[in-house]
Structure 1
């Protein structure tokens, strides 16, 4: 099941297990159960503290519970947690085995103090790069608090259950049998949803903070680079981010990050956050900015109000709020989001195995999505507004070679159709003849680019008609002391390496701005 290299790595990791761990398997006579038993036995062979017991009575087969004998700790996986979820499996083994998690102490105490019974079920796919964060967060919470139960389910393996519960996007989390959340979430975000009063408590802590020299809004590549460069100057630096990593978290493969031939978005995002935390940077996660109030006079304090009701003050601000997936804005899109309308083919593609889907967009992301999906689904219809595809030639040649792909150009998507519960079709108009076409299908993957996260800035700084923050060659905006970097700005070519460079430049520009401000004595003399 595991190759020699992976077995060696696993054995090294499991040396950190301190307490006995028992893997309790619920199996049937199917081939997947045999594969799971083989996997569990290989895990047990890697550590004398891990044992396997068959005879579990869970209704989902194959599944297994990771337990600590003599305790109430029990975390369950339904299916074989390989692919992206193998890391989740290893971490859960370590935590159940007594190895301390790399989580802030206050977060651990918050989880332990939760009052109530919480039964979480998380549906994942092995190709989903967003799922491990959710699985790992809920598994850790289950280890820390015996009143929390976490079961992680491979949606592709339990297709009948997925159909019955109409799970059409991963990760999807149910709490006590009811839909709780969909999409990537950190442990802090989960706690904010279930811990009554957590947002208010955090807001009070933020209100008490002293003013910063540099406040970075956003935690993507641009924001992380800006924070590092500012902190290295020895000035008081803070970061307020809705989710650290930003759009990078939704990127599957990264192969053009100079000196790193290949990495994945979540891995890069983890590295960004760790690098920032190596410096004296005050990182405030799960914080969404709501309003920017410029200083009343040059050198005065700029205010950033947060949706939580708290506010932060700083002598300079760097805006690095990034971008999000652009929507089609047609009838049915919002109604059927996560019910057949999806934005991540890598995450949700396995849920559409053997079905018919459409991909909207003929750029690199759209064509790559169609190629990936063609290997999973029954048929792909790619719809492009322009008269020709805009993807790289090598991608177009690959797409054209696939027998189960139909390419439609000069087409305007006008509606997503459904039966009230899930997508059943799509309507598009031929831009040359105005003829309307209906396509019967079960999924629509939207890949039409990005839109900047700048709506909250429209009354504060100069924006283009597309919503991008106008910046000069130094990263300065129209407001003194406010700088910007990354995908939210007018800087062309939205690339990770460019965002990092622009973030670094913005931090250096902010520092230069600070050192040129008049001191108190000079201000009084003026």
Structure 2
């Protein structure tokens, strides 16, 4: 099941096991059970601390397996084969059940251990979903740390009957004690905050008590990470407040144009960004969504940033790098059927539409790449583009044209997403040339029409363009002295990772220059006195 190279790597990891673990598998005569048995046998062969027990006729999901430690009350299970993006989740689960400590902060670990429960979590994932591992790994770790918490990670593509019954059309989808808990990427801190209702208030009070930063970066994507590193290297007090570190990069699958790195994936790059920032003395504050900027009332004063959590941070300079999010069509039915057939991540949710008919809205690189990927999973793809021609790179268009189960419709304006009340059953579009209206019967709609800047919280505080982008000059300066901006939230053209990193670095250097110039007169007066 595992190739020689992967076995060598896994064997090295398993040497870190501090106590015996037992794999308890539920199998039948099916092909997937055979594959799972082969995987587990490979794992057992790599460590004398691991044993395998297989049984049949169980009432648990088949194929599935639990990871247990004798003498420990741990309830953790995988239903299906955790390969693809979830292989890392499997490795971490083996290590953590085997006593290898996590890198989680002491305060969060104690908070998890203090949860009274019982909490019975179920997470539905897909092997191609780059957002799912965060949730799976978070809940697995919580199940290891607290006997009141159990977790089963379920491959939605393998257990289609459950997916249909529970009407799951987006992953990751989480159930707690049989009830819907949430969808989308979540980390340990976010999950714990939802279970421990007083945690957010305590954290907000702790953040608000922090002394003022020299540079406060708002946003943790490529621009924000670069700004934080460049500011910290100047030896000044630097903080980063981000709703989620990595930003839009976390939702990006293949990255093939990051110079000097021929190919990588968004979550890997995001993790590398955070790791690099943590090598400096940067105060990283996650799960903080900015709600308002209160500019300083006088030169040399402090700017305030207020967050949805209730926290308020102060700083001499601010670098705004809040990035952008997927743009919506804003047509009837889109919001009603969001996560019920309307999706924005083909890599995450595509496997849930196996054998079905879907549409992709948008003919740029993202839309065409989505159509290509989905064509290998679904029955048929219809790509609709508003313009008279596709705007994707020619190499992608050639690949798209070679696929037999893809239809391209240009000059098409989507006007409505239709459904039966619980899920999507079609869409309506208008032919922009002839004016006729057409309906397409399908089960899924993947929206890929560009980005919308995350700047609503800045209205009235800094100058914004008609498109909502922050207006900046060549130095990243906004209309407010001491407030800078970088990345996809600004008017800088071409929304690319490498450009955002450069702009973030430039904004931090400009902020440092501003600090020098505004503090110099005060220092001169102090010396003269």
State TM-score, norm by structure 1: 0.99
Q: In 1, are the aligned partners of 2:342 and 2:445 still within 8 Å (CA)?
A: yes
Name the structure 2 match of 1:40. Answer: 40
Contact 2:456 2:468 in 1 (8 A): yes
Aligned match of 1:142: 143
Residue 327 in 1 paired to residue 328 in 2?
yes
Structure 1: state its 5+ residue gaps.
none
Deviation sequence 1:81-131 (CA, Å, 0-9, x none) = 001100000000000000011111111111111122111100001111111
Cα shift readout 1:272-310 (whole Å, capped 9, x = no counterpart) = 111111111111000011100111111110000111112
SS in 2 for 1:516: helix
Report what 1:235 is aligned to: 236
Give the CA deviation at 1:74: 2.4
Q: 3-state SS of the aligned residue for 2:415?
A: strand
* Corresponding residue for residue 4 of structure 1: 4
Distance in 2 separating the partners of 1:38 and 1:93: 17
Deviation (angstroms), 1:521? 5.6
Q: Are the counterparts in 2 of residues 236 and 281 from structure 1 also a CA contact under 8 Å?
A: yes
Distance in 1 (CA, whole Å) between partners of 2:454 and 2:272 is 23
Residue 181 of structure 1 corresponds to which residue in structure 2? 182
Query: 2: distance between equivalents of 1:3 and 1:402?
Result: 31
- CA–CA separation in structure 2 for the residues paired with 1:260 and 1:402: 29
The corresponding residue for 2:152 is 151
Instruction: Determine if contact 1:68/1:74 at 8 Å carries over to the other structure.
Output: no
Give the secondary-structure state (helix, strand or coil) at the position aligned to 1:314.
Answer: strand
Equivalent residues in 2 for 1:215-254, closer than 5 Å: 215-254=216-255
Match runs of 1:399-414 below 5 Å: 399-414=400-415
Q: Which runs of 5+ in 2 are unaligned?
A: none
Shift of 1:423: 0.4
Deviations 1:51-87 (CA, angstroms, capped at 9, x unpaired)? 1011273520000000011111121000000011000
Superposed displacement of residue 520, structure 1: 3.1
Alignment partner, residue 488 of structure 1? 489
2:52 equivalent in structure 1: 52
Q: Deviations over 1:16-74 (max 9, x none)?
A: 01111000001111111111111111101111101101127352000000001111112
Q: CA deviation at 1:261?
A: 1.0
SS in 2 for 1:210: coil
CA deviation after TM superposition for structure 1 residue 210, in Å: 0.3
Q: Aligned to 2:502, what secondary structure does the other structure show?
A: helix
Partner of 2:308: 307
Distance, in Å, in 2 between the alignment partners of 1:111 and 1:282 is 23
Aligned-partner Cα distance in 2 for 1:391–1:263: 20
How far apart, in 1, do the equivalents of 2:3 and 2:219 lie?
A: 40
| CA–CA distance in structure 2, aligned partners of residues 348 and 310 of structure 1 | 34
* TM-score when normalising by structure 2: 0.98
2:75–2:149: 8 Å Cα contact kept in structure 1? no
Cα pair 1:68 1:96 within 8 Å, conserved? yes
SS of corresponding position for 2:180? strand
